[in-house]
Amino acid sequence: MIKHPEQRIGILVDVSNMYHSAKNLYNRRVNFKNVLSEAVAGRKLIRATAYVIKSDNEDEMNFFEALSQQGFEVKMKDLQTFAGGAKKGDWDVGIALDAIRLADKLDVIILVSGDGDYLPLLSYLQNNKGCLVEVIAFRKTCSTRLIEESDDFTDLSSNPKFLLGRGQLKIK
């Protein structure tokens, strides 16, 4: 896909999805600053939003602040704990709504998530809003259909610059 400097782009990051993928695959953390730089690729950044789930971990506030300093607007939602002890926290609907709201102002929407639940959103943005949709995720934890249907896919496993910290690193 040609990435043109005049393209207006929006980046929507499902932080929880990326965090768990990096942790489970490599026991590392995502370098969101490098992900942002790769996504922008010399184009006009209109909005970069990181969607986070807030629990009671003190370290996470430093992380959220770091995201903000790197150029992300941080949207926070509390982790829900149910009576049986089950926990839930996701931003799927919020990300989808923001993508649809932004679509008329953007040429390209970049979804940083491997969650296959975004397939209907991807299709809607491409077919009804005329947006190109790029996906950035770890190939091993990304929906195959999401990769196939996207206009461009960046595999975060392809380069160690997308990871922080120590841990197993078998990038091919």
Query: What are the per-10-residue average pLDDT scores of the chain (172 residues)?
Result: 92 94 94 97 97 83 92 89 68 95 98 97 98 98 97 96 74 46
How confident is the model at residue 60, as a pLDDT?
A: 82
Is residue 2 in a domain?
no
b/e map of 55-66 (b: 16 or more CB within 10 Å)? eeeeeeeebbee
The residue segments making up the domain with residue 136 are: 8-164
How confident is the model at residue 82, as a pLDDT?
A: 66
Q: How many domains does the chain have?
A: 1
What is the C-alpha to C-alpha distance for residues 80 and 2, in angstroms, rounded to an integer?
Answer: 41
Q: Which residues contact 100 (CB under 8 A, 6 or more apart)?
A: 121, 124, 125, 129
Alpha helices in 27-57 (DSSP H): 32-40
How confident is the model at residue 171, as a pLDDT?
A: 47
Is residue 130 in a domain?
yes
112: left (phi over 0), alpha (psi -120 to 50) or beta: beta
Is residue 51 in a domain?
yes
How confident is the model at residue 85, as a pLDDT?
A: 64
Neighbour count for residue 29 (Cβ, 10 Å): 15
Q: What is the CATH number of the domain that holds 17?
A: 3.40.50.1010
Closest CA to 138 of 157, 153, 125, 122: 157
8-state DSSP, 72: P
Is residue 172 in a domain?
no
How confident is the model at residue 58, as a pLDDT?
A: 74
Is residue 171 in a domain?
no
What is the C-alpha to C-alpha distance for residues 44 and 42, in angstroms, rounded to an integer?
Answer: 7
What is the C-alpha to C-alpha distance for residues 58 and 83, in angstroms, rounded to an integer?
Answer: 24
What is the C-alpha to C-alpha distance for residues 132 and 122, in angstroms, rounded to an integer?
Answer: 9
